[in-house]
Each structure stands twice: as C-alpha cells, then as structure tokens.
Amino acid sequence: MSINAGIEKNIITGMIISKEFLQEVQPIFRPLRSSFANIIAEWCNTYFQKYKKAPQKHIQDIYNSHSEQMDEDNKELACDFLDHISSEYVKEKTFNIKYVLDNAEKYFRTLALEEVKTKLISNLKTGKIDNAENLIKEFERVVRPETKGINPFDSTAIKKAFDDGNGDKMFSFPGTLGKIVGTFEREHLVAFVGNLGIGKTWWLMWTALLGVFEGYNVVFVSLEMSESQMIKRIHQHINALPVHGKKRKIIIPTFNEDFEIEYKKVKKAVLCDITSIKKINMILKSGIINKNSNFRILVYPSRTVSVSTLETQLQNMEYYDNFIPDIIVTDYADKFLSENKSYERRHQLTQIWEAHKSLAQKRKCLVITASQSNTVRTGKDIKQGDWSESISKIELCDIGLSLNQKPNQKRDGYMRVGVVKQRHNSFDLLKEVTVLQSLEIGRCYLDSHISKK
C-alpha cells in the first residue's frame, strides 16, 4: 500500500465515523487520488451537509443504495474497505482525530501544490507566462481554520474545551486509584517512579492492556524483556494464572467490609499455550479487541534505540500497516539512547524525556513510561523530588505516580501508590492508595482503597 493510499483510507475512515473530523476537513478537502475513496468521501460530505453528523454505520445503507451505479472495480474496493472498518463505526472516541487531521491537512496541501505545479508546467510549455504568474498570485494555502489560532473568547472554542467527549479524554484506572489519579488524555506524558524490582513493568503492561481493552491502538516498547517474556506476562495477566510450578492453591488478598486486608486461597492451574490461545480467541470473538489487532510490541536492547529511531519505526508501521498508535508505552525512558552522547548523563536524560513529551504532542497520543527513584539505598518512601538523576523528568510529565512497597508489604500482597505530579488537576501529596496485588497470577492491581495512616 502506498502512503497516499494509507492516508486516503484514514481520511475516509475519519469522515465515516467522526462528526468533528468531517467539520474540520470540509474547508480543506480536495478530490482524492483513489476513485473509490473519492466516492465514499462524497457520500460522507453529502450526508454531513444534510444531517450535520457522520454517517457511521449508515454508510453501509448508503453503499447499498449507490453500489449499482458503481463500476465493478470501485464497487469491490469500497465493499472490502467498508467490511474492514465495520467494527470502527462505533469507535469515534478511540480514533486519533487530531493526528489524522494533521496528516490530512499536509496531504491536501500537497495535492493543492501538485495541481498548481501541473498547471504551471502546462502554461510555461505553451508560453502563457501571464497565466502562470496569476496561478502563483492567486494560490491560497490550504489550511484548517484551527491552525490560524484559536480565540479563547469564542463560544465554539469554549464549548470544545469543556467537552469531555471531544476525544482527548481516554480512560482511567479502576476504583479508588482511578479517582485520585484522574483521567489519562491524549498528549499526556505519564510516568511511574519506583525502586528496582518493585514491578514497574507490570504497571506499564497493565496500563497498556487497559488501553487495548478500551479499543485504543497501543505500542509497547520493551528495553528490558524479550518478546516471549512479554507475551507470557500479558497472557498470565489475562488468564490470572501462574506460569511456573504445578497446579496449586494461591493466596489472594482482598478487602473486607471495613477495608481490612484478608486472604483467600484459590486453586489455580499453570498457564499453557493452549489455555492462552483459547482465552484470546474468546476475547477476539466477543469484539472486545479489534479483530485486526490493536496491540504491538517492539523489543530493543537497552541503550541501543533513540526516540527518533522509534519515531521512524512508528512511521513504518503507519506506512506499511496503516497502524496509528493512540498510546505509546516505553519500558522505560531512562534506557533510551540519547541523541547527544557527548552530553552529561543528566542532560542526556532531559533530552530523552523532552523527546517523550514531544512524541505525545506531535502524534496526539498518550505516552506512558517509568523511572527509577533515588531512594533505593535508603529504603525511604518516594517523594516528589526522588526521581533519579534529573529533576526535568517530573517537570516534563503531566502525571507522576510513586510506587512504594516495604518488604513485608510485598510479602503480604499490597503496595502504596501516590500522585507526585498532576499538571491538570489538584492532588494531595500526602494521600496514598493501598493497591492489592498478586504478581504470581500476573495482577499488579486487584483492588484499591485509600491508605490508612
């Protein structure tokens, strides 16, 4: 698939499922190169002008009513495309509208320039210099009104800013933990900070899976674990089964009515490939996860890949697979290679974390990562300033979460999670949430409640 085909398919997907996308693309729309895509785009524009909304699932009815007038090639291409995205009609909230709009704008700008180029060459070849000069003089740059600046006193801009359904808000953690952390949004940089071996990878993986099961496209970049190790952990979590030993009873922590921790024994079999395949097939059949797969794992050795190299890989995924991530999880930022190897380590880390924040902003996605704390030797709880080596980490992230756990708490199946940074909401540095967990069955989160002092 060429990049033009990929962009055009993303454009008509946006036009089918999103009212916001249709509104934004109207002023800049140019005829598409693909004949079948142009036909579908025309249907969407006509539908929007009449009903002021996106056609979504009604696009199939529109296709049925027009298919007889289409030639066989376009009819087949349109049918295949609509079948391919049929599961997306109701997923407007998970569609990366802003990023695809940015790409659409660049694409339409390219088309407009190519149109002028073709006419210029034609006029120059035939000696029509005045016509050629007029083409340049009269050329209008293709640009969305949004990119010219927003008036903060405009009622439309105000409504959009306060609209919780505008596509920026994504998902939250469950339970009490979700209430104190808040909602994750596009362009957020979120970071877990914890000591060595506390389970940061488990938290990153669990957060990624929450996004997957909400319908978002997720890329998980592992610089610590192999593909096999990650896949085992993912299915260990999904099945809530151990991956080692024999069938046995496992002790699971729970809260009683007074939120005291109690324990129950549950008999668990050991996870195997057959069980994993059976469970994931059941999930895929239910439609909870996109049948075309919306979770990708990238594995690199530690300190061998830079953020710019990752960006190249993301571009390749978009080019070849038409895969645009909504969530990018890196395990973890400190293990990335700096673009400036001559810098001091703390300046290298600043550059790496700035690149992570830039990645979230440029791709209009949620970026989640982790960092070591500098309390590993002292054994003290992590506070707001306890990020190893560079204070810029906490300055750059939108949400920062501390993972604290004493040896006896690890043994007893719980840890304490606190908010050490929340750029967009008030938060209490003294408040912690007790999170029950059982890593033996792949669950870093079972339940949560405000910690008792």
Task: Give the model confidence (pLDDT) of 303-320 as tens digits.
Answer: 899 999 999 999 999 888
**pLDDT category of residue 340 using cuts at 50, 70 and 90:** confident
pLDDT at 91: 64
Q: 193 - beta bridge partners?
A: 371, 402
Q: 254 - beta bridge partners?
A: 262
| Minimum mean pLDDT range among 111-120, 285-294, 364-373 | 285-294
| Minimum mean pLDDT range among 164-173, 352-361, 432-441 | 164-173
The length of the chain, given as a count of residues: 453
User: Is 331:370 a contact under the CB 8 Å cutoff?
Assistant: yes
Q: Cα–chain-centroid distance for residue 196?
A: 26
d(CA 69, CA 114): 30
d(CA 42, CA 40): 5
**pLDDT category of residue 227 using cuts at 50, 70 and 90:** very high
**pLDDT category of residue 236 using cuts at 50, 70 and 90:** very high
Other Cβ atoms closer than 10 A to 303? 12
% of the chain exceeding 90 in pLDDT? 67
Q: Stretch 277-305: mean pLDDT, rounded?
A: 86
- Work out the mean pLDDT of the chain and round it to a whole number: 89
**pLDDT category of residue 400 using cuts at 50, 70 and 90:** very high
Q: Judge residue 16's burial from the number of C-beta atoms within 10 Å of its C-beta, 0-12 exposed, 13-18 middle, 19 or more buried.
A: buried
pTM reported for the whole predicted model = 0.86
pLDDT, tens only, 241-263: 999 989 999 999 999 999 999 99
pLDDT at 291: 62
CATH topology for 169-450 is: Rossmann fold (3.40.50)
pLDDT, tens only, 82-136: 887 766 655 667 889 889 999 999 999 999 999 999 999 999 999 999 999 999 8
The residues spanned by each domain of the chain are 3-160, 169-450
